[in-house]
Chain A
Amino acid sequence: DTGVSQDPRHKITKRGQNVTFRCDPISEHNRLYWYRQTLGQGPEFLTYFQNEAQLEKSRLLSDRFSAERPKGSFSTLEIQRTEQGDSAMYLCASSLTSGDPQYFGPGTRLTVL
C-alpha cells in the first residue's frame, strides 16, 4: 500500500498529557498537510510543509501544537498539555506539489478525557 499512512489510528489521553502523531506521505510527494476535523465540519487546515520547510501555520494553531518534517519525508504533530477541546480527528494529506490534489491518510482520532 503506497498511500498516506498515519499512526496511531486512535489515541485516548488524559487532559494535560502530551501526544505525538506520525504521518508518512506518499513517497514522491513534496507537500504534506495537517488538518483537524470535528463532527459535522470539513477538515480545518493546521499547517503544511514543502519538503522539510514548514511554510504556513494556521492562526488557529496554538503554541501547544508543533509539527516537524525533519528529513522531508515523514512528519510528526505534537500537542502539549492536551485539553478536551483538542479531541478531534487529525488528518494528514500529501500532494505532489502546490495546487495538486491532496491524498489523505486514515486519520488519528484523539480523545482527551
Chain B
Amino acid sequence: EDKVVQSPLSLVVHEGDTVTLNCSYEVTNFRSLLWYKQEKKAPTFLFMLTSSGIEKKSGRLSSILDKKELFSILNITATQTGDSAIYLCAPYNYGQNFVFGPGTRLSVLP
C-alpha cells in the first residue's frame, strides 16, 4: 500500500528563520511528487518534481527530490508570518493518483 510520511508534523519558528520540511514516500510506479501549501482554504500548488537532484525554486521556497532514497525536502528561507500554513506533499502513483501526506503545520511567529 502506498505510504507518505511528512516530518515534522508541526513546527513553530520565528520570522527570519529557515525551515526544512521532509517528505518520504513508498509509492509503486512513482512518476512525480507535488508540494502544496494549504492555508485556511484549499491547497495551492507550489512545485512539481520529476527528476532527482534538480532543485525547483520560487522566491524563498525551494524543493528537491531524491528518487533513490524516496524523499523530498521543501526549504523556506527568511520565513515570514504569511508562510504559516500546512504544507502537503503528494507523490504520484503512475496510472492511479496522487497520495497526499498528512502535512506539516508551520507556524511563523513575528
Query: Inside 8 A of A107's CB, which chain B residues have their CB?
Result: 41-42
Number of interface residues, chain B, beta carbon within 8 A: 24
Query: Inside 8 A of B94's CB, which chain A residues have their CB?
Result: 99
Q: Which of A42, A48, A104, A105 contacts B103 (CB 8 A)?
A: A42
Would you call A99 and B100 a contact (CB within 8 A)?
A: no
Number of interface residues, chain A, beta carbon within 8 A: 22
* Docked pose: A107 CA to B34 CA in angstroms: 19
* Docked pose: A104 CA to B40 CA in angstroms: 13
Would you call B45 and A45 a contact (CB within 8 A)?
A: no
Q: Which residues in A have some Cβ–Cβ distance to B below 8 Å? A: 4, 33, 35, 40-45, 48, 56, 91, 93, 98-99, 101-107
Given pairs A35-B100, A91-B42, 11 additional interface contacts (CB within 8 A)? A4-B42, A42-B88, A42-B100, A42-B101, A45-B97, A45-B100, A56-B97, A99-B92, A102-B45, A102-B98, A104-B36
